[in-house]
Chain A
Amino acid sequence: MSGPDFAVSKTGTTQANGRHDVGAAGSVLREPTGPTVPLNRLAPEAALRRLELTVVRRLEGFLQGDHLGLLPGPGSDLNDARIYVPGQDDVRRMDWAVTARTTVPHVRDTMADRELEVWALLDATPSMNWGTAGVTKRDLGIAAIATLGFISQKMGDRFGGMVMHSDSVKRFPARSGRQALYGLLGKLLDDPIERDNQPATLGLPEGIEALIRTQRRRGMRVVVSDFLDPGDQELDPKAPPSWERPLRRLAVRNQVLCVEVVDAGEMEFPDVGELLIRDPETDFARFVNTSDVRARKMIDRAAAAQRERVAAAMRRAGVGHIRLQTDRDWVNDIARFVLTYRQTAAVLHQPPQGVTK
């Protein structure tokens, strides 16, 4: 897919106040004050029209839609044959083949075609307000939500959003149509950016729990986060992260996509001399000599192990996993994911035993 490179920052241009625009890199020093990417550059709507997000799980809904529903109803997909009930069933739906073989009048049921309801959970804790390239992780997450939203826009499909802060979860109701999606994205971008080191009462597990609790109808769920527990030191891929269990529960009834947002500075520890490193969420503050090659290698190895652990937890939970990086073109990455997802989705989203697909 050859679209415009949306992740390229405007580095090198000069702002009105005479200072060089450094993209989101200022977030390395202090929390950003606003979104680092404007609404009109979140996703190329026109280019995404030909992509389609495969929906393999059956849906519940009220309206006629384009996706396979869970319950019988007017639709295009054939279901079981059942005995004709005079006065209730339409004779035009008679299944003559079955009737002839059984000598009892049968009708053929269809599964209802339902609309898709997508809910996206955006992690907006302080660790997401960070980025060394053009955009912060939070804004990259919003861009991912925008891209997935435009891809999943079919007739009547609804898109809702939840924003998780460290003390509350904000909910933006699901509505259908591209204007509503633009409205949601605008609200996500304008959502106030959290200050550092606020007392945290919520983590990603609680955010996912909130998503499970408030949205009971089946559909698609998108969880956008960096999937980092503040201060987590565990590297063993077999040790489940704190968010794995809620994610499993979410995946029981929903088709879940996890968008893991990372930054190049997290994959490759920067060489910036000896300086104080502090965490925007925990009280960690330590002088680290980042010019030490051995130390950087060790940190990079540990970071890779941690990413591997995140990926392993997502495989165990049976959710789709998209990894986006702030210095790369997210539209390209998501498009690639969607193309391979066509083949893998059915296997990936196998529901647990005893749960209807």
Chain B
Amino acid sequence: MTGDTTQVWLWEFFNPERLWALLVLPVLVIAYILLLRLKRNRGMRYTQTGIVGAVLPRQSQWRRHVSVAMALCSLAAITGAWARPAGTEQVPRERATVVLVLDLSQSMQATDIDPTRLDASKQAAKDFIAQLPASYDIALVALSGNSRVLAQPTNDRGMINRYIDALTLEDGTHIGDALMAALDAIAHAPGEPGEDPAPGMVIMLSDGSNTGGEVSPEQAAANAREQGVVVNTIAFGTLNGYVDLDGQRYNVAPDTEALQQIAAATGGAAVDAKSASQLNNAYDQMRSDVTYEDVKKEVTARWALYALAFAFVASLGAVSMAARWP
């Protein structure tokens, strides 16, 4: 029942060529107007129309016109139904490879989020993983000056949790490298023979701006896009976050814009999290993005329902005109 769809104006159709049948509508409209014109030459000639018009209340014609308009709308809707309109429906994803990219830079020791950014992100990541379907493979990538794959894709939740617990702070924030590492991890995901590789998704949590690396974040995002990997980003931390390093205080506000650009380039979502609870919300949102996918489905029945409603009104008008309702 699936296939390629074509966008026609606001809607998508599987068989848009059948919409040519709509051409009969203008023909009908023109015929209607012409018949109305011709009708003026029929009817009864009468001389004292002045007093007829003055005495009789104006009998509005809207019932006729509405009936005709409704019949035409019904015709349009049923033609649309014939062209098999497509609607999107969210269906649970059966398998996927989710790569968690967690920021380990020194800025993660900032205490603007209780207890520290790193601890809060660890806890949230573990909660997130716990709620993912068991069939999903999960990989862990460290985002630091030495971005690397910590854990290859696996559905062993205990191992991932242990990896997360063991995370420690490192220097630097090489976002591009971390993304490339994540793409690498997805490429190594175990696949069933004879099946397409599971769709890969990256969830990148970062609280600072890029500090270098071999690959620029833009380039990495372009690569991810090429491979069809969606990168969702979470900008973590508040604007007032700071860290004291070597006796010097640094402001460590998250680089929201850069993360948004990455997400936009790959078709993912970008969210801000300024507290632990907001981070949980962000992960919840991610989860629905990750665990459900949009699937084009035929919604012919809905269009047929519209056509039925229009036809019902049209037939009401026809019946009332035929029976001359009081």
- Interface on A for B, CB 8 Å cutoff? 27-31, 127, 130, 196, 226, 228-233, 235, 263, 265-266, 269, 272, 274-280, 282, 284-289, 295, 298-299, 302-303, 306
6 interchain residue pairs of minimum CB distance: A276-B43, A233-B54, A279-B49, A284-B49, A302-B51, A127-B47
List chain B residues, Cβ under 8 A from A306: 48, 51
Q: Measured between alpha carbons, how far is A81 from B273 in the docked complex, in Å?
A: 129
A276 CB contact (under 8 Å) in B44, B47, B53, B324: B44
User: Which residues of B lie under 8 Å from residue A286 when comparing CB positions?
Assistant: 49, 52-53, 56, 58-59
Q: Measured between alpha carbons, how far is A286 from B55 in the docked complex, in Å?
A: 13
Asked if B56 and A233 sit within 8 Å, CB to CB, the answer is: no
Chain B residues, Cβ within 8 Å of A266: 47-48
Against A, the Cβ 8 Å flags (1 = close, 0 = not) of B2-36 are 00000000000000000000000000000000000
Q: CB-CB contacts of B49-84 with A at 8 A, as 1s and 0s?
A: 111111110110100000000000000000000000
Find chain A residues with CB under 8 A from B46 CB.
28, 130, 265, 277-279
A276-B50 contact in complex given A286-B58, A289-B59, A295-B56, C-beta closer than 8 Å: no
Taking CB atoms, residues of chain B closer than 8 Å to A28 are 44-46
| Nearest A-chain residue to B324, judged by Cβ | A274
Q: Give chain B residues whose Cβ lies under 8 Å from the Cβ of A289.
A: 59, 324
Residues on B with C-beta less than 8 A from A277 are 43-44, 46, 49, 52
* Chain B min CB distance to A309 (Å): 11
A295 touches B44 (CB 8 A): no
Verify A295–B55 contact, CB threshold 8 A.
Answer: yes
Q: A278-B40, A289-B59, A298-B56 are contacts. A130–B45 as well, Cβ < 8 Å? A: yes
Q: Name the B residues within 8 Å of A272 (CB-CB).
A: 44
How far is A279 from B40 in the complex, measured between Cα atoms in Å? 10
A276 and B39: CB pair below 8 A?
Answer: yes
Chain B minimum-CB-distance residue to A278: B43
Q: Whose C-beta in chain A lies nearest to the C-beta of B46?
A: A277
Asked if B162 is at the interface (CB within 8 A of a chain A CB), the reply is no
Distance between Cα atoms of A228 and B51 in the complex (Å): 11
Q: Which residue of B lies closest to A273 (CB)?
A: B324
Please give, as numbers and ranges, the residues of chain A lying within 8 Å of B44 by CB-CB distance.
Answer: 28-29, 272, 275-278
Q: Is the CB of A285 within 8 A of B50?
A: no
In the bound complex, how far is the Cα of B43 from the Cα of A299, in angstroms? 18
Most buried by B among A30, A31, A286, A289: A286
A285 pairs with B43, CB closer than 8 A: yes
Knowing A233-B54, A286-B53 are in contact, say whether A303-B45 is a contact too (CB < 8 A).
Answer: no
Are A299 and B50 in contact, with the CB atoms below 8 A? no
Known: A29-B42, A302-B51. 16 other contacts (CB 8 A): A28-B44, A229-B50, A230-B50, A231-B50, A233-B54, A235-B51, A275-B43, A276-B44, A279-B45, A280-B45, A282-B50, A284-B52, A284-B53, A298-B55, A302-B54, A303-B48
Task: List, in ascending order, chain A residues with CB within 8 A of B45's CB.
Answer: 27-31, 130, 196, 278-280
Which residue of the partner chain B has the closest CB to A27? Answer: B45
* B43 touching A303, Cβ below 8 Å: no
Number of chain B residues whose Cβ lies closer than 8 Å to a Cβ of chain A: 21
- Residue of B45, B48, B50, B53 most packed against chain A (CB within 10 A): B48
Q: How far is the CA of A100 from the CA of B55 in the complex (A)?
A: 74
The answer to whether A288 and B56 touch across the interface, beta carbons within 8 angstroms, is yes
- Chain B residue with minimal CB distance to A232? B50
Complex: A66 Cα to B14 Cα, angstroms: 98
Listed by A's residue number, 8 A-B pairs whose Cβ atoms lie within 8 Å are A231-B49, A233-B50, A266-B48, A278-B44, A284-B52, A289-B59, A298-B55, A306-B51
Q: Which residues of A contact B58 (CB under 8 A)?
A: 286
Expressed in whole angstroms, the minimum distance between the Cβ of A267 and any Cβ of chain B is 10
Q: Which of A130, A235, A274, A285 touches B47 (beta carbons < 8 Å)?
A: A130
Q: Once bound together, how far apart are the Cα atoms of A130 and B59, in whole Å?
A: 25
In whole angstroms, what is the CA distance A278 to B59 when docked?
14
Q: Which residues of A contact B39 (CB under 8 A)?
A: 276
Is the pair A288, B59 in contact by a Cβ cutoff of 8 Å? Answer: yes
Closest to B54 in A: A233
B267 to chain A, nearest CB (A): 58
Instruction: Closest B residue to A299 by CB, please name it.
Output: B55
- Bound-state CA distance A44–B48 (Å) is 32
Q: Using Cβ atoms and an 8 Å threshold, which residues of chain B touch A233?
A: 50-51, 53-54
Give every chain B residue within 8 A of A231 (Cβ-Cβ): 49-50, 53
Contacts of A31 in B (CB 8 A): 45
Other-chain residue from A127, A287, A298, A303 in contact with B59 (beta carbon distance below 8 A) = A287
Q: How far is the CB of B86 from chain A (nearest CB, A)?
A: 44
Cα of A28 to Cα of B47 in the assembled complex, Å: 10
A242 → B minimal CB distance (Å): 12
**B47 nearest CB neighbor, chain A only:** A127
User: Which chain A residues border B47 with CB–CB below 8 Å?
Assistant: 127, 130, 226, 228, 263, 266, 279-280
Residues of A within 8 A of B52 (CB): 269, 277, 284, 286, 288, 299
CB distance from B186 to the nearest CB of A (A): 72
State the CA gap A127–B53 with chains docked (Å).
16
Q: Choose among B42, B49, B52, B55 the residue with the greatest number of A CB atoms under 10 Å from its CB.
A: B49
- CB-CB under 8 A from A285, the residues of chain B are 40, 43
For A265, the chain B residues whose CB sits under 8 A away are 46
A280 to B51, CA, bound (A): 15
Nearest chain-A residue to B42 (Cβ)?
A: A276
Q: Which residues of B contact A232 (CB under 8 A)?
A: 50-51
B270 to chain A, nearest CB (A): 62
Residues of B within 8 A of A196 (CB): 45
Which residues from A are CB-within-8-Å of B61? 287
Residue of chain A at shortest CB distance from B61? A287
Chain A residues within an 8 Å CB radius of B42: 29, 276
What is the CA–CA distance of A278 and B46 in the complex, to the nearest angstrom? 6
A229 neighbours in B (Cβ, 8 Å): 50
Report the Cα distance A280→B50, complex, angstroms.
12
B239-266 contacts to A (CB < 8 Å): none
The CA of A288 and the CA of B54, in the complex, are separated in Å by 12
